[in-house]
Structure 1
Amino acid sequence: MNLPSLNAQADQNTHFIEATMKWVDDIVIRHNFCPFASYVRTPNQIHCCVIAGNTGDVLEALYDELSRLEKDNNVATTLMVLSNSVFADFDEYLDVLAIAEAMLNDWGFSSKYQLASFHPHYMFEGSDTDAPENFTNRSPYPILHIIRERDISRFMKNENDAEKIYTHNIAKAKELGCPYFLEALSKIKAENTVKDSEK
């Protein structure tokens, strides 16, 4: 009796994962928004999972994913896709992000991991809603990205490296413009929705 709903959930999860990885390939890596993403994409050392529940479920999954990274060195980084519609609201997403960052510290993981944030409506503090630079952190769906501190240190030897990445990303986003990103993100979501409907 439960098989149809389980299959539907599996198909939905596949959609979120495929759309997210397509975004990694077509936007993040293609435009070099994260200079070390390509090194963990091939071979595939990115673990992508979908969390459908509320804040409590997200925190439980976060702990599980941190434990996975502790045990499995073959996984370089984790993308947690938050599929619950409540997190489509950017303020709600920021709330769970703040709690997740606090728990990272409480659990004793803050010296080894950090969280990067991506959201369909991401907006840097002080920026306009339609500013192109916001698209450097805009993804098809809300994401909590768990990154190993040692990997960040490996690729960024000093503060100048971080500044170079930031200035490159802003310049590239302005060069491409908002219409480009709106179309690209819309296409990514639409393509993977079609794929799921054909399964």
Structure 2
Amino acid sequence: MHEDRHDEPAFDPEAIEAGVRRWLERAVIGLNLCPFAKAVYVKQQVRIVVSDASTERALLEQLGEELALLRDTPAEATDTTLLVHPLVLGDFLDYNDFLDDADALVEAMDLDGVLQVASFHPDYRFADTDADDPGNLTNRAPYPILHLLREDSVERAVAAYPQPDAIIERNISTMQDLGLEGFRKLLSD
């Protein structure tokens, strides 16, 4: 007999992808948190993969597949990949530990200097910050996400952007002005 669990939402990849797109459009692009995101997003070069992995091992295998796919796909077709994994690594500390495994996989696949993995999580917390520090919002997303980036794309974008070092400070200021409640409202339906 199957027991319905009311405390766990059903796994709905379409709804999850819609939430990620809302975050991209309203926060990442809308607040200009990443000034490089809009160009690849409007050209449909952002691949969003909603993973059904429920273990770290399964997620690591899927990460390897996505790294290989990005490596073997022209940037004009897919410049970046968001691997969204709502069923595993919901705890930020576990997620943060997993990033070492992700980096080791990049190295093992000889992709160091070619691809990198950036991190976003609903409970993201930078080292030496309080959990409610607005600066943490810059890396908060509706679900845990491993963001696969091409290093040459990042280098070109940074080189073409005036004062790239100011991005982080501007983002923190934006999030301080918005606040946690404003961020939640921004992402709500």
2:85, 2:145 within 8 Å by CA — same for their partners in 1?
yes
Q: Which residue of 2 aligns with 1:71?
A: 72
SS in 1 for 2:89: helix
Distance 1:100 1:46 in 2: 20
Moved more, 154-163 or 130-139: 154-163
Corresponding pairs, count: 177
RMSD (Å) for aligned C-alpha atoms: 1.9
Check if 1:178 corresponds to 2:180: yes
Tell me the CA shift for residue 11 of structure 1. 7.0
What one-letter code is carried by the residue in structure 2 that aligns with 1:13?
P
Distance 1:52 1:161 in 2: 39
Distance 2:162 2:42 in 1: 27
Q: Which residue of 1 aligns with 2:14?
A: 14
Structure 1 residue runs of 4+, over 6 Å off?
A: none
Q: Percent identity?
A: 34
Tell me the CA shift for residue 183 of structure 1. 2.5
Q: Which residue of 1 aligns with 2:97?
A: 95
TM-score between the two structures when normalised by the length of structure 1: 0.83
Matches within 5 A, 1:1-199: 12-53=12-53, 54-73=55-74, 74-84=77-87, 86-157=88-159, 161-185=163-187, 187=188, 191=189
Unaligned ranges ≥5, structure 2? 1-9
Distance 1:123 1:87 in 2: 14
Distance 1:126 1:11 in 2: 34
Tell me the CA shift for residue 161 of structure 1. 3.8
